[in-house]
Amino acid sequence: MSITQQHRKNIIALYCIIFYTLMTFKWWGGLFLYQLEPIIYQTRFDFFTWQFMQTGLHTWLLQHKVGLYVFDALFYSMPLLYWLLYSRSRLWGTVIAIIMLVVNWVYIQVYTLYPTSSIESFIGWLLFPVLFITTSLRSFYFMLNGLRYFFLFLFASAGLWKLVQQGIFNVDQMSGVLLYQHKEFLTSAPDHWLSHFFYWIIIHPMVGYLIYLLGTLLELLFLTGFFTRKFDRILLYAFILFILLDLFLMRIYYWELSPFMITLLYSRYRRPSALR
């Protein structure tokens, strides 16, 4: 079955549902810019970011709190605005998508300079507006599949890096990772059951190694997606499992990557004919 305009509308709606579910969660968690009211930033090893920082926008916002409200309002209104306008006018949809691309880029550059999360996890919000800029259904199909390949690359490269950088050949890897990742938790609450659990893995390096190995295999599983779409549903479940295990074991939340799930959900649809 070919992808249709109805699928496109469903994809946009699904994107909005994911975006606004996460938005609600972030607001509840006090993770909006206006709630964080940052006063410091940190330069990262990113050439693009250095050029962006030359504008001084990140330091201006530290002095002008009202700007934080404006930035939050812009970033969190874009998908809704796009959803409202796209169904009325394709042209306006494209215009808003271009604005969304710029807003997302600026917001995420600034947001991740402050004490929040690393910019890598926000890659979905940086790239998805490109999908919405497309006017024809065929271009939409190609960009959707392009994003799918990128998502596959993201996970597969994480698995391959573990081979290249040799983390996978180190039996003590998971013990080292857990100590580094949870040192503040372990030292502040040494008697908590989670600390006991982490320590148990740390002193049983083979158990930890097995977890690390399974994680690596899970990441490498995404390589299959480059050759066939048959296993995309399995990859979707693998991604959900990855998110849940990371949250429990590493206390890292990768849910900002969840819009990429859409690319696996809709990969079974073929490209539309040239006339549509």
Partner 1 sequence: MPMFLNLLYKHSKLLFVLVMVFISGQLFINVKHGLVFSPFYHYGMYSQVMRPQNEYLVPEIVVDHVLLQGKDFTPWTWDKILQPVNYFTNIPASNALNKNEVTRLTPAFLSFNKTSNFIQPCDYPGFMDWYKTYLTGILGRPVKTVEVASRKYTFSKGKLEPSPITFTLSSQCQ
Residues 160-219 within binding reach of partner 1 (CB under 8 A): 161-162, 164-170, 172-173, 175-177, 179-180, 182-190, 192, 194-195, 199, 202-203, 219
Burial (0-12, 13-18, 19+ Cβ within 10 Å), 128: buried
Is residue 92 at the binding interface for partner 1, with CB under 8 A as the rule? no
Q: Which is nearer to partner 1, 83 or 129 (CB)?
A: 129
Q: Which is nearer to partner 1, 83 or 168 (CB)?
A: 168
Among 253, 258, 265, 269, binds partner 1 (CB under 8 A): 253
| CB-based contacts of 50-59 (< 8 A; 24+ apart in sequence) | 52/109, 53/113, 57/106, 57/110, 58/109, 58/110, 58/113, 58/114
Taking the C-alpha atoms of residue 19 and residue 22, their distance in angstroms, rounded to an integer, is 5
Taking the C-alpha atoms of residue 212 and residue 209, their distance in angstroms, rounded to an integer, is 5
Tokens at residue 64, please?
């002008």
Among 27, 41, 76, 269, binds partner 1 (CB under 8 A): 41
Q: Which is nearer to partner 1, 1 or 30 (CB)?
A: 30
Q: Which is nearer to partner 1, 78 or 127 (CB)?
A: 127
Largest pairwise CA distance in the chain: 66
CB of 220 to partner 1, least distance (A): 12
Is residue 49 at the binding interface for partner 1, with CB under 8 A as the rule? yes
Burial (0-12, 13-18, 19+ Cβ within 10 Å), 60: exposed
Tokens at residue 60, please?
């201006």
CB of 272 to partner 1, least distance (A): 11
Under DSSP, the state recorded for 230 is T
Taking the C-alpha atoms of residue 271 and residue 28, their distance in angstroms, rounded to an integer, is 40
Is residue 67 at the binding interface for partner 1, with CB under 8 A as the rule? no
Q: Which is nearer to partner 1, 95 or 172 (CB)?
A: 172
CB of 158 to partner 1, least distance (A): 4
Which residues 6+ apart lie within 8 Å of 217 measured at CB? 159
How many residues of this chain bind partner 1 (CB under 8 A)?
87
Is residue 46 at the binding interface for partner 1, with CB under 8 A as the rule? yes
Is residue 37 at the binding interface for partner 1, with CB under 8 A as the rule? yes
Q: Which stretch binds partner 1 (CB under 8 A): 1-9, 15-23, 65-73, 123-131?
A: 123-131
